[in-house]
Chains A and B, each alone.
Chain A
Amino acid sequence: MTDETPDAPAPEKPIHRKTPPATPMVQAWLDGEETRDHLATEDEQETAELWTRINSEAAQLRRRNTPIHVQSRILNSLTDLTALPDEPPAKGFKLSTPVVVLGGLVILVLGAVFGFMLVR
């Protein structure tokens, strides 16, 4: 709470009035979800005017394309390189499929024999 005297001089009017912040309706308009007709207040129209200018500039940037020499520069830089498949050959010991199947069968038979002996 402030103790302001009644006859204190009124604050000076700012030279420049800040543009009102974007309301949810302005944000919705900028997102393409509402039309500008839905911006009811003067403040919203003022903010919309600012964003129209910003968007106009952004649209200029959107038309930018890759400089023509860049694509060929990239292709030329690939000359000594190779595109690699995802899985390089695995190093070290690796079991082949028949060996894995045979091993599984042996374990199964041994398990059955041991089980049979235990039951007896």
Chain B
Amino acid sequence: MTTSAPSVEPVDQADADQEIIGRVLAGSKDAFGVLIQRYSDPLYRHALGMTGSPDVAEDILQASFIKAYQHLGEVRGRFDAWVFRIVANSCKDWLKNIRRTHVSYEEDDQPSSFSTPEEEMDRNELRTDLEYALARLPESLREAFVMKHVEGRSYEEMAVLLETTVGALKMRVHRARESLQALLEEKYA
């Protein structure tokens, strides 16, 4: 598969974020809404991929943006990388505090794109198995896999966001694939 991963955030986008941050710090609360709108989707997907629960992902997203708002003056460098780390750490904290035996997207209220009920049933089974297997991966492997395969990020972008090297991330993703395949293949190989 060749995923069309988004490129690393362009510099002018980072400048635009800085300009918005300046407005927020000057008292414009509404300006923060622009940042929420700009970054909530990728952050939500990350939280959803890591926790497996839409409700938890929403709560983590809300708490993270509140934290970001209250500490906005501390942003150094790119806002998107900074707020990503808040969300990523919140997800890890949540995973540490809970022993997940089952994760489910069944609460999902997104419209289905399956053509037939049979196809939908097959896909739901695959999805459940994938979630089940993902929940069993160690945090660092799960994070790398979710960012690469679910969020469709490039290794370069992942390296910026996680503050590590491309080589280290490739190793994590490869190990995640091996582990995931071992967990999944009994189900539907």
Contacts and interface: CB of A to CB of B under 8 A. Distances in A.
Interface of A: 16-19, 21-22, 27, 29-32, 35, 47, 50-55, 57-62, 64-67, 70-71, 73-75, 77-78, 81-87
A84 B72 contact: yes
Contact of B1 (A19, A55, A65, A74): A55
Given A50-B185, A62-B152, 5 more contacts: A30-B1, A57-B130, A71-B36, A77-B62, A85-B25
B102 interface: no
Given A16-B189, A18-B189, A60-B127, A54 B61 contact: no
Nearest to A47: B181
Contacts of A65: 41, 44
A54 B184 contact: yes
Interface centre among A35, A61, A75, A87, by most B CB within 10 Å? A61
Contacts of A71: 33, 36-37, 40
A78 B32 contact: yes
A94 to B, nearest CB: 20
Closest 3 pairs (CB-CB, A-B): A86-B73, A85-B73, A19-B189
A60 B123 contact: yes
B2 interface: yes
B24 interface: yes
A24 B150 CA distance: 21
A103 B61 CA distance: 52
Interface residues of B, number: 55
Contacts of A31: 155, 170, 173
Contacts of A73: 58, 62
B33 A75 contact: yes
B70 A54 contact: no
Contact of B73 (A51, A59, A75, A84): A84
Given A60-B127, A67-B54, A75 B32 contact: yes
A27 B174 contact: yes
A27 B177 contact: yes
A67 B45 CA distance: 11
